Structure 1
Amino acid sequence: MIALNGVESCKSLAELLANLIPGGVVFGLVEKDTFVWVKSSESFTLDIFKVGNKLNDDTTTIQAIREKKVLVKNIPRTVYGIRVSIVSIPVLDDNGNSVGAFSIAMPKLHPVAAAFGDFAPIIAEMFPEGSYIYMSDLTKIAYAQPSKKFDMPTLPVGYELQETDISHRVIQSKKPIIEEVDALKYGEPLTIANYPLYDDANQNIVATLGIITPKNAAVALRGMAGNLENSLEGIAAAIEELAASASEIHSNEGSLNSTINDIIKITDEINDVSAFIKLIAEETKMLGINAAIEAARAGDAGRGFGVVAGEIRKLSDQSKSTVPKIKQLTETIKQKVDEASRKSDLSLDASQGQAAAAEEISASIEEITSMSEELNRLARTL
């Protein structure tokens, strides 16, 4: 209670305290039901606290006067547009009658709002690309703190919340929301996180706290990871095709090597036939010589037979002389075939190495592709 003769002292004290109380304050002196004196801080005022304003019977101040006791009441935002705590202290005359009240009104700030000016400038600078920290009440942005690297001029203090804004949706849902916003809305890709803030007394949502961070680096990293993944997929497809070609080459080389071996066998058979021809030629020559001897013994009767025997010897000699040529040719063929066989073996080994290398490259590409997918996943978390 305040004695009537102590009112002037209270007013003097209020004059001193008005701009010293954090968050602001309004002092008012009411006689009966009308404000006769008001002192507001520079940062806070209330329309109801004006000299000449009359109070309704249901106000805290009138109740305090009527009940002759100090009343403290938290006024919801719906009454004055801001949450307020009002303390009403009855003023008593010398007879103990209530003749008025000394009222004090202070904005009821959420602890986060009260500390916003202390923590927001620090946190805003903790992100590599900068950030924008803001706090809204139920209708507009009330506090904002840009960083040196990043600002949101389209969301200044006083900005009225729209239905599409995250803060508005958090207020409606009473749940935190974190969203990635593409460059179409604000000119660059952003991540916006917004959280509801509650009144400690009744757990009603009274404000939201949001932080906006640019995601240019993350988007660029994500694009690079996507391009890397696509490139690796193309390389992997080419490697698979190369591996398939190497496998086919290996198969063809194996078939060629088998064919060369068959040719070598055929040249060996030709040599056998040549040897057999040589043997026949020698035996034919012997038969021709024997025939000539017998023709000589027969005299004139065997003269014609002797001519034939001579021709047989000539054919035998010709056949015998042909055999070395055939042998020479077959030897040449065999040498060429042996050389081709060696090259085929080398090619076969090379194709096997190529196929193995292609498989190793393909395995490496798969590993790099897996790493690019992980890189892409990490980029999405930034």
Structure 2
Amino acid sequence: MDYQRYFKEEVSDEEILKAYAIVLPMLKNLVRDDMAFGLSDKEKYLFYVSAKEFDLNVTYGTEVVDLVKQCIRSGNIEKGTIPQEVLGKEIRVIAAPIRNNRGQIIGTISDGISMDESKYLISSIGDLSESITQVSQSVNEIAKSSTELAHAGQKALELTTRTMEASDKTKEALDIIKAIADQTNLLGLNAAIESARVGELGKGFNVVASEIRKLAVQSKESVSTIRDIIESVNNSVENISQAIKETAVLSENQAAVTEEISAAVANINQSINALNDFSKRFL
């Protein structure tokens, strides 16, 4: 930085470093994260401001860490992680060189932030991502089951429709049987009349006519009984058909809603993955 722009006279290296020392405590109010700040010359720390939640116990005269040495050598801003065994806590550090008005590096200013919260955040995001993935798989299974249930409901509805159609055809067959029974009964009645007309010679024929009429009556009674049974079956089938229709509608709605939930979960999972990738940039 061109310090001549701010000062008419040349400022000594010591004065520049003192100015940084005065400003350093104020930097804590300018950042949102809980950070520690350090000021050094090219060999040792000159000033240190601890964070609220952690203290690296850096004191005046402590030798600068390797990352700060690298910053001094390269003359560039350096970023890196200091292992826990060096300062007692794993710290993410950014070090920037301080230059005098002649462009010479005279020291560094650095900040450090604990990796505990970042690691916890990343771990939580990973756990959340895993949970969302499991939920997504479960929802997909439910969606698949709902779709299969809807298809099964449709098939069952088709079967009940066929049953109703078969029942109608059975009714037609019963009508034919009833008509035959009526005709048989009439035929028996005519035979009885004819038997009575011929007198003694028609007695045997009268017995046959009587049995025919009994058969006709029994046939009509059986037709009536079968018709009642079919009506009862039809009522049951209609009730089942209605229940299946309602179930099919509910299954289709459930399948549609489940697909929407699955899509929403997929979007959430995508966002969490993006957040996870973003958070790793700070490690």
- TM-score where L is the length of structure 1: 0.64
CA gap 1:297/1:187 in 2 versus in 1, 3 angstroms? farther
Could you tell me which residue of structure 2 aligns to residue 170 of structure 1?
71
CA gap 1:210/1:152 in 2 versus in 1, 3 angstroms? same
Q: What SS is found at the alignment partner of 2:110?
A: strand
Aligned: 1:144 with 2:44: no
Q: Distance in 2 between matches of 1:328 and 1:181?
A: 90
Q: Distance in 1 between matches of 2:169 and 2:238?
A: 16
Contact 2:83–2:90 (8 Å) recurs in 1: yes
Shift of 1:355: 1.1
Q: Which residues in structure 2 correspond to 1:151-190 (within 5 Å)? A: 151-153=55-57, 155-161=58-64, 165-181=66-82, 186-190=87-91
Q: What SS is found at the alignment partner of 1:138?
A: coil
Q: Which residues in structure 2 correspond to 1:1-382 (within 5 Å)? A: 108-109=12-13, 112-128=16-32, 130-147=34-51, 149-153=53-57, 155-161=58-64, 165-181=66-82, 186-201=87-102, 203-376=103-276, 379-380=279-280
Identity %: 26
Q: What SS is found at the alignment partner of 1:159?
A: coil
The structure number with the bigger radius of gyration is 1
- TM-score where L is the length of structure 2: 0.84
Q: Distance in 2 between matches of 1:254 and 1:184?
A: 68
Higher relative contact order (CA 8 A, sep 6+): 2
Could you tell me which residue of structure 2 aligns to residue 26 of structure 1?
none
Q: Distance in 1 between matches of 2:251 and 2:165?
A: 25
Q: Distance in 1 between matches of 2:211 and 2:52?
A: 117
Contact 1:296–1:302 (8 Å) recurs in 2: yes
Shift of 1:366: 2.8
Q: Distance in 2 between matches of 1:126 and 1:318?
A: 105
Could you tell me which residue of structure 2 aligns to residue 8 of structure 1?
none
**Equivalences, count:** 272
Contact 1:247–1:355 (8 Å) recurs in 2: yes
Shift of 1:339: 0.6
More strand by share: 1
Per-residue CA distance 1:190-219 (angstroms, 9 max, x = gap): 220011234543x45442221112244433
Per-residue CA distance 1:50-103 (angstroms, 9 max, x = gap): xxxxxxxxxxxxxxxxxxxxxxxxxxxxxxxxxxxxxxxxxxxxxxxxxxxxxx
Superposed CA RMSD: 2.7
Q: What SS is found at the alignment partner of 2:56?
A: coil
Q: Distance in 2 between matches of 1:294 and 1:181?
A: 124
More helix by share: 2
Contact 2:16–2:100 (8 Å) recurs in 1: no
Q: Which amino acid aligns with 1:114?
A: K
